[in-house]
Amino acid sequence: MSLHQFDGNAGITEVSPGVYIDLNGVQLTPQQVRQVVTPHDFTVANALVGRPLAKPWRRAMAITLDGVVIALLTSGSFLFLLPVAAYLALRCHMQQNNRRRNTVITIAILALFLLPLAPQKADERSDYKVKAGLLITASAIALTNTDCNAQCADKQLDNISEQLRGSKLTDDEIDSMVRDLLEESILTPAEQQAALDKVMRNIKQHRQQAAGQATDQLIQATTQPETNISWWQKLAQSDHSVLKWLQGILTDLGIGFGWAVFYFTLFISWNGGQTIGKAFMAIKVVQLNNTPLSLWQAFGRQGGYSAGFATGLLGFIQIYWDPNRQAIQDKVADTLVLKI
């Protein structure tokens, strides 16, 4: 048994990672441990040291797939909920956790009666994002196959660039994403660089053309005489108005947000740290101390996604420079994402 006596504080002693005793040799309860400063949350379990981390492109593809699943669940159709619930129930059954399995089945049965009551509203922009995500994921998987030659890679990259050029990602973010994908392909370094240059040239040209068209439209709009509309109508039509901002908040806190909370919390906690997207991309979420995430811990981690959006996606992009590729949601929950 290794003892760690902390300098300047003789009140507690660490007898093993995360286990502390007081001066009388009585072990501190988890509630008591949380009331004092300990090194527990800042250490990594020895079993995790040296294990490969998930590359950013794998995490990006996984979250894209998860976004597709959440979008389908948000549609309010039981046809999409049933296979997702069946998959999670089966995983809980394989883990011999009958209580969780029965809970999932109960939720699915309740949804059978509640989903028809939810308002149906089509969102063409959401449909477009779902289709774009599916196309990017399919092309990325095809690109990284061992039998995808230069001609195949060129075709897949054309598909990826076509979807990415209209996204809100910066050129540097797209460059890093495509570079990671190419590193997993069978192309030579010279072919990879040539393919990357072509993708970035295509995207920059398209964005320059789009910016020029937007400028022309702005000039045309400002030179035309104003119609007789009220100030309230002008405010409502403005893309930068308070009304648009409030509408965005209401959308974020709507049913789609609820499905995202439900999906990420249950799957990360009850499916061994894997959502459907992460399972497909062969990656998983683990805690730094190598213990399973509880429901509360998984709930806290998915809350980190909101912080990532609040930081202008910087909280997500930091996986490119963080030593252990921790995004902001990983920092919040003390987790890592490993390749398995």
Long-range contacts of residues 43-46, Cβ cutoff 8 Å, at least 24 apart: 43/17, 43/288, 43/289, 44/288, 44/289, 44/324, 44/336, 45/17, 45/288, 45/289, 45/290
Instruction: Identify which of 3-12, 36-45, 100-109, 167-176 has the greatest average pLDDT.
Output: 100-109
Q: CB 120: neighbour CB atoms within 10 A?
A: 9
Contacts of 59 (CB under 8 A, 6+ apart): 281, 283, 319, 327, 337
Do residues 62 and 283 lie in contact, with contact meaning Cβ atoms separated by under 8 Å?
yes
Q: What is the pLDDT of residues 37-77, one digit of tens each?
A: 665 555 677 788 888 888 888 888 888 888 888 877 776 66
Report phi then psi at 76, rounded to 5: 85, 15
pLDDT of residue 239: 53
* 71-99 residue pLDDT tens: 777 766 667 778 888 888 898 889 888 88
Mean pLDDT check: name the lowest of 20-34, 107-121, 266-280.
107-121
More reliable by pLDDT, 306 or 117: 306
Question: Predicted confidence band at 218 (pLDDT cuts at 50, 70, 90)?
Answer: low
Q: What's the pTM?
A: 0.54
Q: Which of 291, 256, 314 is nearest to 123 (CA)?
A: 256
Contact 329, 41 (CB under 8 A): no
Q: What confidence category does residue 125 fall into, taking pLDDT thresholds of 50, 70 and 90?
A: very low
Give residue-wise pLDDT tens across range 201-212. Answer: 888 888 888 777
Nearest alpha carbon to residue 137 among 277, 22, 300, 290: 277
Question: Coil, helix or strand for 30?
Answer: helix
pLDDT for res 250: 44
User: Is the pLDDT at 4 greater than 60, yes or no?
Assistant: no
User: What pLDDT shows up at residue 122?
Assistant: 44
Per-residue model confidence (pLDDT) at position 285: 92
**pLDDT, average across residues 170-189:** 82
Which two structure tokens, joined as six digits, stand for 115? 């989903």
Residues 320-331, mean pLDDT to the nearest whole number: 84
Burial (CB count <10 Å: 0-12, 13-18, 19+), residue 1: exposed
Q: What are phi and psi of 129, to 5 degrees?
A: -65, -40
In this model, does residue 127 exceed pLDDT 50? no
* pLDDT (0 to 100) of residue 253: 46
pLDDT exceeds cutoff 80 at 284: yes
Average pLDDT, the chain: 75
Average pLDDT over residues 99-106: 84
**What is the rounded average pLDDT of the residues 148-169?**
80
Report the alpha-carbon distance of residue 226 to residue 221 in Å, rounded: 9
Strand (E) or helix (H) holding 233: helix 231-237
Other Cβ atoms within 10 Å of 153 Cβ, number: 23
Strand-by-strand arrangement of the 13-16 sheet: 4-5, 13-16, 19-21
